[in-house]
Amino acid sequence: SWVDGMIMLLALIGYGWTIWLRNSTHETPHHARTTQRHWRAIVLQLAMVVGGLVLLVLGAHWLVDGAVIFASWFGVSELIIGLTIVAVGTSLPEIATSVIAGLRGERDIAVGNVIGSNILNLLLVLSTTMILSPQPIAVPEATIWLDLPVMLGAAIICWPIFFTRRMVSQREGSLLLVYYLSYTLYLVLQATGSTGLSIYTTVVGLVLIPLTVALLVVRALRWMGEERRQRQLSMNASE
């Protein structure tokens, strides 16, 4: 309901306030470089911003309309289309930004872009939709019992990956990609009513998830051992 939307919007404001407080500790140097602003350049940039917003809204309409048509053609629910085609389409800007930032060595932007976009999608997009919607938004039962736990599990998996060595290796990135492909394959099997769905869920539950947990535990233990050895070496060197 709109009350829930207001709560999520207040949570977003609180999150933004914490970011402002964290950044306010860094003082801006008084000798910061200033650039001369030309009105022609300002008008051009404003025109690009307005044009980009117009095209973005137009593209959003096309994306939703096309997704609904796909859902009717293939006889699948709009939820499945939203979790696959629409989700990929709306994530393409994040993919492009993170890839370009990673190639240029701006690793903080690559990680922050992904985390920030997810927080904004949950707290800003969803809250704005609920506030402006004339009726409460119904949440499908499948989302509560499957998609939300999957989203929570993905966040939990990211925590030890980000924590150990403060980086994401190619193997870990490949593991995250495998999980996304596995989730998408599950949605496809479920939408098509495939008889192999039960076998697939068994393989994922008994093989893929335990293997992932074991790999993360081993990586965490190795990292803790390396940290302990480095601290011991630093103590010995100081003595």
Q: What is the mean pLDDT of the chain?
A: 79
How confident is residue 31, by pLDDT bands cut at 50, 70 and 90?
A: very low
At residue 37, the pLDDT reads 59
The answer to whether residue 64 is domain-embedded is yes
Asked whether the predicted pLDDT for residue 92 surpasses 80, the reply is no
pTM: 0.66
C-alpha gyration radius of the chain: 23
At residue 21, the pLDDT reads 83
The answer to whether residue 29 is domain-embedded is no
φ, ψ dihedrals at 194, nearest 5°: -70, 145
Same domain assignment for residues 83 and 143: no
Lowest mean pLDDT among 50-59, 84-93, 166-175: 84-93
Same domain assignment for residues 133 and 108: yes
Same domain assignment for residues 123 and 143: no
Last residue of some domain: 87, 115, 138?
Answer: 138
- Could you tell me if 183 and 128 are in contact, meaning their C-beta atoms sit under 8 angstroms apart? no
Provide the domain count of the chain.
2
How confident is residue 10, by pLDDT bands cut at 50, 70 and 90?
A: very high
Lowest mean pLDDT among 27-36, 60-69, 102-111: 27-36
The string of pLDDT tens digits covering residues 214-225 is 877 877 787 777
At residue 32, the pLDDT reads 46
> Which letter does DSSP use for residue 28 in this model?
P
Spatial separation of the C-alpha atoms in residues 166 and 104, rounded to whole Å? 18
Half-sphere exposure of 238 (CA within 13 A, CB side): 6
Same domain assignment for residues 152 and 229: yes
Spatial separation of the C-alpha atoms in residues 3 and 66, rounded to whole Å? 31
Asked whether the predicted pLDDT for residue 30 surpasses 50, the reply is no
Asked whether the predicted pLDDT for residue 65 surpasses 60, the reply is yes
The string of pLDDT tens digits covering residues 149-171 is 888 888 888 877 777 667 777 88
Summarize the confidence of residues 85-99 as an average pLDDT. 77
Q: Is 85 exposed, middle or buried (0-12, 13-18, 19+ CB in 10 A)?
A: middle
